Amino acid sequence: MADEVTNPVLDPAEALRQIGHSGEGPLDIARAALMLAALDHSDRELAPYEAHLAEIAEAAKREARLAMHAEDGARALSALMVGRFGYDGDRLSYDDTQNADLIAVIDRRRGLPVALGILYIHAARAAGFEAAGLNTPGHFLLRIEMRGSHALIDPFNGGAAIHRERLGAPPAMSTSSPDGPRVAEPVSDVDVLLRLENNLKLRALNAGERSRALEIAKRMVLIAPKKPELWIDLARLNEATGALGAASRAYEACLSLVKPGTALHNEAALGLHALKRRLH
């Protein structure tokens, strides 16, 4: 039986606000993802889900205790997450929004690569490995390290260990920042959570659900308030939904975080100027 969960009960929004104040991490990443999901499940008790995360952690400690290097650890994690707990990628309904909602992922044992990856990171760290998500556009992978060795894991495909050479080196994405991590380099826990939420936001936008996309954008700013690109995105979505005052404040928040003369500063300044003309 899993140990009793001793984490204090927090309002999910307040828990996420604390994450935003604490910086990039490392975090209790699975619990953070659970708090994000809880915002869409106000009728659910979180205790069973926290107990499940504790069960995964305890089982990971036992399963990986004999691992001598990272590849052993990768096999142990795969056996645990797939063999014992039944987690796998949802290939039949990949774009279902439940696949990026950790509560639904735990219920269904199916999810997107990043949602499953969060559970693998949680298990790996509990087992004593260093673990981080990777900047791999298009498909989420994670890396675990132990005693100078490392392994790359594909959580969507049964926790398969893969060779770095198979990743290739795709050209830079248009959304990539020159100051951001290079392809296949580790990213922060906050960036992993943002990737999870971005899946929900993009699906909402594709479905024409601007209000839903706006709600997700607010959550992204909550956990990463120092990322100016999130504020300008929030400004645009507020503007698109008619919340012009909120849009103005979001543009101002973006401007407070970037240097004058940069592309993002100019974009926010132009957006704010145009918005003020509309308001007056």
Q: Pick the closest to residue 10 from 28, 2, 25 (CA basis).
A: 28
Residue 267: what pLDDT?
94
Say if residue 97's pLDDT is above 70. yes
Residue 174: what pLDDT?
30
What's the DSSP call for residue 186?
B
What end-to-end distance do the CA atoms of the chain give, in Å? Answer: 63
210 C-beta neighbours (distance < 10 Å), count = 15
> In angstroms, rounded to a whole number, what is the distance separating the alpha carbons of residues 264 and 72?
45
> In angstroms, rounded to a whole number, what is the distance separating the alpha carbons of residues 45 and 39?
12
What's the DSSP call for residue 262?
S
Confidence category of residue 277, pLDDT binned at 50, 70, 90: confident
Backbone dihedral region for residue 31 (phi beyond 0: left; psi -120 to 50: alpha; all else: beta): alpha
pLDDT, tens digit (0-9, with 9 covering 90-100), for 228-262? 999 999 999 999 999 999 999 999 999 999 999 99
pLDDT, tens digit (0-9, with 9 covering 90-100), for 99-152? 999 999 999 999 999 999 999 999 999 999 999 999 888 889 999 998 888 999
Domains of the chain as residue ranges with CATH: 12-167 (3.10.620), 227-279 (no CATH)
> Cβ(135)–Cβ(180) under 8 Å?
yes
Confidence category of residue 67, pLDDT binned at 50, 70, 90: confident
Q: What is the pTM of this model?
A: 0.88
Task: Please provide the size of the chain in residues.
Answer: 280
Residue 164: what pLDDT?
58
Pairing between β-strand 142-146 and β-strand 130-133 as defined by DSSP bridges: antiparallel
> Cβ(76)–Cβ(59) under 8 Å?
no
- Min mean pLDDT across 54-63, 164-173, 203-212, 265-274 is at 164-173
CA distances from 250 to 227, 238, 269 (A): 12, 8, 11
Q: Pick the closest to residue 119 from 219, 137, 110, 1 (CA basis).
A: 110
